[in-house]
Homo-oligomer: A and B are copies of this chain.
Amino acid sequence: MPVASAGPGFELNATAASVLGFLLDGPRAGWDIATAIEGSLGDFWNVTRSQIYRELRTLTGHGLVEPGQTGARDRRPYTITADGRAAFLAWLDQEPGDDVVRIPLLLELFFADRLDDPTLGRHVAVHRARHAERLDRYRQLAALAEAAGDHRAHLLRYGILHEEAVLAWFDTLPWG
Contact = CB atoms under 8 A, between A and B. Distances in A.
Chain A residues touching B, majority SS: helix
A159 to B, nearest CB: 9
User: Copy number of this protein in the oligomer?
Assistant: 2
A58 B160 CA distance: 41
Interface of A: 1-2, 14, 17-18, 21, 24, 40-41, 43-46, 88-89, 92-93, 95-115, 119, 122-123, 126-127, 130, 151-152, 154-155, 157-158, 161-162, 164-166, 168-169, 172-173
Given A1-B104, A44-B101, A96-B127, 13 more contacts: A14-B107, A40-B110, A43-B101, A45-B103, A45-B106, A45-B107, A93-B115, A99-B104, A100-B100, A109-B155, A112-B151, A113-B151, A157-B169
